[in-house]
Amino acid sequence: MLYEAERQQIVDTCLEMAAKGLVVGTAGNVSIRVGEHVVMSPSAVPYETMTAADVAVVDMDGKQLEGNYKPSSECPLHLSVYKATDAGAITHNHAPASTALGLVVDEIPISHYYSAMFGGAIRVAPYATFGTDELASNVTNALNGRLGALMANHGAITIGKDLPAALDKLPYLEYICEIELRALWTGRAVKVLTDEQMAEASEGIKGYTAHAANEG
């Protein structure tokens, strides 16, 4: 079986996303790039019954090479992001706060220094029907220079050098969205960090993540 370890990693990640309340049902999808191939969660397969053999393997044109089921309907989105970035993995989820905030804003301002984890203000990709090339293009553009984005009327996406890195960002993105929503509920102006404050935060986060990697 091609990429057995990566396919099992997809299964484990889907189960973790479900356990953390980041997805509903089979919504959301996960992938890993391995050279010119992509290992991707299958379409409409319950996470609790998914096996490594169910996980799809496709080439960069979307041609399926292995897997008991078709790849996620968001396959065009994943391939578009891989072609445009140096991402090694992608996670896409439908968590409540990020999905809700994507209904009411076009960008999350830099109101929390965690935004530095994503490269700055988090953009909201314009709505397009799921699984379409239009959505793939919109999200790829929103990720330009960023490690995460929201998808209007849909959900959220994070990317990373590998799957643990991409998955680790999802709860932080959901947290940023949750506190932004709570701040908006007050009806008061939301305080925004300056470029200087964000630059300082970025340096601090780089040091923290480097230390965490060394500890790991």
Query: Active-site residue numbers?
Result: 74
Length of the chain: 216
Q: Are 122 and 179 in contact (CB under 8 A)?
A: no
Please report, as a single letter, which amino acid is at residue 174: E
Question: What tokens appear for 20 in the block?
Answer: 């953390």
Neighbour order of strands in the sheet with 148-151: 64-66, 56-59, 37-40, 29-34, 89-93, 155-160, 148-151, 122-125, 107-108
Please report, as a single letter, which amino acid is at residue 178: E
C-alpha 132/C-alpha 75 separation (Å) is 9
Residue that the structure tokens 């960008």 belong to = 107
- CA dihedral of residues 25, 47, 153, 138 (deg, nearest 10): -160
DSSP conformation letters of 105-147: -SEE-S-SGGGGGGTSSEEEEPP--TTSHHHHHHHHHHTTT-S
